[in-house]
C-alpha cells in the first residue's frame, strides 16, 4: 500500500511504525473471507482492509479521529483471524493498537460511552471490585428488563451464583518431590472472580506432572483489557507491575516458564517486549507459555476422559499465539473424543469487553458459534479462554469447561464443576507409565 506521510510525520515513532505496517498491505482482500464482522455486516469498512484504509487516512492527515472512523474501529473484535489469513504478513495487531491509542487521545466519545468504558476500566482488572460488581448484578437481575440495552446485557453475563473465594491463588509455592520445572502462574483478574477453579485445576495438573508452581507476590491484571480498549497508559502501568512481580521471583530462583491459563492474557504477555520495550519485559515475554504448552513439555499421561468434546479454539490462542493443534492433541491423549465446529477459525464474539460494548454483533457471532458447536453433538465444550467460556455458555445446551479442567480430571483430578449433574460414562482405567512425547 502506498503511503504519503511527510518526513516530519515519520519522525514520530508511532507514525513510522504505522507506515511500515501499512506499506505491507497489498489490497488483496483475502482477510475479508475470515473477518467475523465482515461476515455479519457485509460492509467493506468493517473488514480489516477497510479499517486499514481508515487508519491510513486518519494518521496521514494528522487529524483527530472522527465518528465514522471510530465506529468501524470499535467494531473490530481484535480476533486476529486476518493475520492468519494475510499472505503479506501485515501486522494488524499492532496497527489496531496504534489506531485505538490515537482514538483515545483525540476523540471524545459520547457521555454514556465514556461512563461505561470508564466503569469497565476501573472494575474488570481488579478482582475484588469485579466480584463486588457481580454481586450487585445478582441483586438487580430481577429488574434487568428495566435496564438500558448494554446494562441489561452486562447483568445477563454475570453468573447466577458467585464462586467461593479461593486461597489457591494467594502468593505461595506449591513444591513437588521430584521437580522437573519451576514455573510461575499468572493468576489474572476477571478469572479470579468468575472461575477460580481454572487456576486450581492448573496447579493440580502441573504439580502432578512434576512442576513446582509459584504464585508471585504482586501478580495481578496483565493489562490486556485496557490495552484492547485503547487505554495504553493504564495497560502499560499494569504490565509493568506484572513484569516486576515475575522478575522478582525469577531473580530469586530461575523460572522455566510463566504459565497463563487465559489465552487473551497470554497473547498480551507474550508481546510485553514490544509493548514496554525493556529487557525485563522481553524476559517475561519469553517465559510466557500457555498452560497447554507447559503440560505438553512435562509429558501428559494417557487419560481416561471418554467424553465427546467439542473444542472451541479461542482466537487469542489460534491466531494470537499460533497454538492450533496442541490443545486438541492433549485432549485426545487424555482419552476424549475431540470434534471441532465447521467455523473453527471464527470468533465467538467475546473478545475481551466486546460482548459488553457491541452486544448486537457479539450476540449474532455467539449464535452462529453455538449452532456450529452443538451440531457436533458434544457432551461438553472445551475452551482455553474464560471470556469464550462465558460467552458460549450463555446459549450452549451443554457444559463449557476450560481445557485444563478436563485434562486435570482425566488424569486423576476432581470432576470439573461444570460437569456436575451431566451424564458421565464410567471412567476408563489410566494406563501406567504412558506419557505424551515432549
Ordered by where they begin, the domains of the chain are 7-106 (1.10.1060.10), 111-157 (no CATH), 172-295 (3.40.50), 300-419 (3.40.50.1860)
Task: Give counts: helices (H), strands (E), the chain.
Answer: 24, 9
Paired sense of beta strands 172-174 and 211-215, if any: antiparallel
Paired sense of beta strands 380-383 and 308-312, if any: parallel
Q: Residues for the chain: how many in total?
A: 438
Paired sense of beta strands 337-339 and 308-312, if any: parallel
78 to each of 25, 46, 82, 133, how far by Cα in Å? 17, 12, 9, 26
Tell me what the pLDDT averaged over the chain comes to.
Answer: 91
Mean pLDDT value of segment 34-63: 95
438 to each of 174, 295, 312, how far by Cα in Å? 23, 9, 24
| Per-residue pLDDT, 423 | 65
Is the CB of residue 421 less than 8 Å from the CB of residue 380? no
Q: How many CB atoms lie within 10 A of CB 45?
A: 18
Q: Please write the tens of the pLDDT for every residue from 247-286.
A: 999 999 999 999 999 999 999 999 999 999 999 999 999 9
| Per-residue pLDDT, 366 | 96
Q: Please write the tens of the pLDDT for every residue from 118-130.
A: 999 999 999 889 8
Model confidence band, residue 96 (pLDDT cutoffs 50, 70, 90): very high
CA-based nearest residue to 159, from 189, 186, 193: 193
Model confidence band, residue 438 (pLDDT cutoffs 50, 70, 90): very low
Portion of the chain with pLDDT greater than 70, in percent: 96
330 to each of 219, 410, 438, how far by Cα in Å? 28, 11, 11
CA distance 165 to 32: 44
Q: Please write the tens of the pLDDT for every residue from 201-215.
A: 999 999 999 999 999
Three-state DSSP class for residue 173: strand
Model confidence band, residue 360 (pLDDT cutoffs 50, 70, 90): very high
- Joined together, the cell numbers standing for residue 80 give 486476529
Model confidence at 357: pLDDT above 60: yes
| Per-residue pLDDT, 264 | 94
Is the CB of residue 130 less than 8 Å from the CB of residue 157? no
Proportion of the chain in helix, strand, coil states, percent, rounded to 5: 55, 10, 35
| Per-residue pLDDT, 436 | 39
Paired sense of beta strands 308-312 and 288-290, if any: unpaired
DSSP string, 325-344: SHHHHHHHHTT-EEE--TTT
Model confidence at 292: pLDDT above 90: yes
Is the CB of residue 318 less than 8 Å from the CB of residue 84? yes
Three-state DSSP class for residue 215: strand
Residues 164, 221, 380, 139, CA torsion sign: positive
| Per-residue pLDDT, 161 | 81
| Per-residue pLDDT, 349 | 95
CA distance 297 to 307: 24
Mean pLDDT value of segment 224-241: 93
Q: What are phi and psi of 337, to 5 degrees?
A: -90, 115
Mean pLDDT value of segment 296-306: 91
Q: Please write the tens of the pLDDT for every residue from 367-426.
A: 999 999 999 999 999 999 999 999 999 999 899 999 999 999 999 999 998 888 766 766
| Per-residue pLDDT, 437 | 32
For the chain, report the end-to-end CA distance as a whole number of angstroms. 43
Neighbour-count burial of 340, counting CB atoms closer than 10 A to its CB (0-12 exposed, 13-18 middle, 19+ buried): middle
| Rg of the chain on CA atoms, in Å | 22
Neighbour-count burial of 376, counting CB atoms closer than 10 A to its CB (0-12 exposed, 13-18 middle, 19+ buried): middle
Q: Please write the tens of the pLDDT for every residue from 132-156.
A: 888 888 888 777 777 766 777 777 7
| Per-residue pLDDT, 427 | 60
CA distance 411 to 147: 45
| Per-residue pLDDT, 426 | 61
CA distance 279 to 269: 14
Mean pLDDT value of segment 345-357: 93
CA distance 431 to 160: 39
Three-state DSSP class for residue 184: strand
CA distance 367 to 147: 23
CA distance 296 to 318: 16
Amino acid at each position: 500500500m502506498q503511503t504519503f506521510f511527510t518526513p516530519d510525520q515519520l519522525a514520530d515513532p508511532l507514525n513510522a511504525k504505522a507506515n511500515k505496517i501499512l506499506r505491507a498491505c497489498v489490497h488483496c482482500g483475502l482477510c475479508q473471507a475470515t473477518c467475523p464482522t465482515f461476515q455479519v455486516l457485509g460492509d467493506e469498512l468493517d473488514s480489516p482492509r477497510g479499517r486499514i484504509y481508515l487508519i491510513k487516512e486518519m494518521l496521514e492527515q494528522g487529524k483527530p479521529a472522527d465518528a465514522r472512523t471510530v465506529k468501524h474501529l470499535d467494531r473490530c473484535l481484535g480476533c486476529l483471524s486476518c493475520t492468519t489469513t494475510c499472505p503479506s504478513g501485515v501486522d494488524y495487531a499492532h496497527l489496531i493498537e496504534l489506531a485505538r491509542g490515537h482514538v483515545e487521545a483525540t476523540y471524545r466519545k459520547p457521555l454514556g460511552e465514556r461512563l461505561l468504558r470508564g466503569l469497565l476500566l476501573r472494575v474488570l482488572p481488579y478482582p475484588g471490585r469485579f466480584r463486588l460488581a457481580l454481586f450487585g448484578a445478582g441483586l438487580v437481575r430481577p429488574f434487568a428488563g428495566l435496564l438500558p440495552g448494554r446494562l441489561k446485557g452486562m447483568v445477563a453475563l454475570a453468573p447466577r451464583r458467585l464462586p467461593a473465594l479461593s486461597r489457591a491463588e494467594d502468593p505461595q509455592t506449591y513444591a513437588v518431590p521430584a521437580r522437573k520445572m519451576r514455573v510461575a502462574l499468572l493468576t489474572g483478574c476477571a478469572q479470579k472472580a468468575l472461575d477460580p477453579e481454572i487456576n486450581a485445576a492448573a496447579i493440580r495438573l502441573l504439580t502432578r506432572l512434576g512442576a513446582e508452581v509459584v504464585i508471585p507476590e504482586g501478580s495481578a491484571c496483565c493489562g490486556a483489557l485496557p490495552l484492547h480498549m485503547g487505554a495504553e497508559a493504564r495497560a502499560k502501568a499494569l504490565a509493568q507491575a506484572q513484569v516486576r512481580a515475575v522478575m522478582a521471583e525469577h531473580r530469586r530462583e530461575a523460572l522455566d516458564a510463566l504459565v497463563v491459563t487465559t489465552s487473551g492474557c497470554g497473547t498480551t504477555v507474550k508481546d510485553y517486549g514490544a509493548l514496554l520495550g525493556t529487557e525485563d519485559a522481553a524476559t517475561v515475554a519469553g517465559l510466557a507459555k500457555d498452560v497447554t504448552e507447559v503440560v505438553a513439555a512435562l509429558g501428559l499421561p494417557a487419560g481416561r476422559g471418554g467424553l465427546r468434546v467439542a473444542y472451541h479454539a479461542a482466537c487469542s490462542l489460534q491466531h494470537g499465539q499460533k497454538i492450533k493443534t496442541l490443545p486438541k492433541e492433549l485432549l485426545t491423549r487424555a482419552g476424549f473424543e475431540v470434534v471441532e465446529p465447521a467455523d473453527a477459525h471464527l470468533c465467538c464474539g467475546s473478545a475481551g469487553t466486546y460482548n459488553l460494548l457491541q452486544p448486537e454483533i457479539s450476540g449474532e457471532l455467539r449464535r452462529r458459534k453455538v449452532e456450529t458447536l452443538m451440531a457436533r453433538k458434544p457432551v461438553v465444550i472445551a475452551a482455553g479462554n474464560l471470556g469464550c467460556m462465558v460467552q458460549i455458555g450463555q446459549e450452549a445446551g451443554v457444559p463449557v469447561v476450560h481445557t485444563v479442567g478436563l485434562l486435570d480430571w482425566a488424569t486423576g483430578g476432581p470432576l470439573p464443576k461444570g460437569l456436575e449433574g451431566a451424564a458421565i460414562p464410567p471412567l476408563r482405567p489410566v494406563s501406567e507409565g504412558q506419557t505424551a512425547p515432549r
